[in-house]
Amino acid sequence: MIAIGIHGGCGTLPVEMMGAAQWDEARAHLADSLRAGWAVLARGGSALDAVEAAVVVMEDSPYFNAGFSAAMNAAGEHELDASIMDGADLRFGGVCAARRIRNPVRAARALLENGPSVLLTGPAADDYAAVCGIELVENRHFTTERQVQALASLKARAAAGTIAMAGEAEKHGTVGAVALDAEGNLAAATSTGGFNNKPVGRVGDSPIAGAGTYARNGVCAVSGTGQGEVFIRRVAAYDVAARMMYAGQSLEQATDAVVHESLSSHAIGAGMVAIDARGCVHTPFNTIGMYRGWVDTEGNLAVASHEDIIRVGRLQA
């Protein structure tokens, strides 16, 4: 039994802000991400390999705030965070404030495998990736016109004192994947550029075990999206697992409670993709939309950006 779920962030634009062709392409990139992860699982590969493969596709897409098209900090530069976790033995790897790693999730995976550290930051993360043979690029590689405009918009709002009126898509976004493999192992991975106009050196929840990413065999795997400071304070991803382990809640009950009660109580936009030990995927969010998708245990692939769910087809196991 195998299954996979992804999110591309709860910072989804209103429908009218992009043309139909762009929405179609963004959803196609979600489907490509799912196919990449499913292909790993279908040939007997690990959940770890599957979530890494799925996240790499989204890191290379212009539609999501991770890798290429990552958000820009207050200095107009990119600082990237990512992590990956193995539910079988709780191994974890994370990088934060990286500036040159084309696919930060790959560096996080290398750290998970090689240890003994679980988190590297800034130049040390870039240097580690280089030693591991992971592709480095110039910081400007990540810059897209969409993020340049978003940064300018937020700076203008900050100057005018209207920052509270900014939409989720102007502020932030994240990508993540969760998977169950044929051996019953769970894994999760998350990658982000943080939020636009963030302070230089800021680190969010995405590279923090238990905050933005968590996986534990027999329970669940979780990847979050939203204001990272609150996810850290709430230990949000682990809270889902704790509710399931100690309170007997189902995946749906636990994730809904965390997103719609705990996180929403802070008046932030938030969302999650999570999977349980039976391969059930749940994707709650409290914003106008969240890029998301899944392939269920029967191979049925679906993607969505707002309320409507698009059934793409059935993949072979």
The set of catalytic residues is: 174
Task: Report how far residue 190's alpha carbon sits from residue 200's, in angstroms, rounded to the nearest whole number.
Answer: 20
Task: Report how far residue 146's alpha carbon sits from residue 296's, in angstroms, rounded to the nearest whole number.
Answer: 33
* Kind and range of the H or E run holding 106: helix 104-114
Burial status of residue 131 (CB atoms within 10 A of its CB: 0-12, 13-18, 19 or more): exposed
Task: Report how far residue 260's alpha carbon sits from residue 103's, in angstroms, rounded to the nearest whole number.
Answer: 31
Report the candidate in 81, 23, 79 with the shortest Cα–Cα distance to residue 212: 81
**Cα dihedral sign, 285-291-297-301:** positive
Provide CB contacts within 8 A for 226, sequence distance 6+: 10, 172, 174, 263, 268, 269, 270, 271
Q: Are 18 and 186 in contact (CB under 8 A)?
A: no
β-strand pairing of 119-121 with 92-98: parallel
Which DSSP category does 17 fall into? G
Q: Are 5 and 292 in contact (CB under 8 A)?
A: yes
User: Cα–chain-centroid distance for residue 284?
Assistant: 14
**Which tokens in the block code for residue 77?**
């530069």
- Facing residues of 311 across strands? 302
Task: Report how far residue 152's alpha carbon sits from residue 74's, in angstroms, rounded to the nearest whole number.
Answer: 10
Report the candidate in 215, 235, 223 with the shortest Cα–Cα distance to residue 277: 215
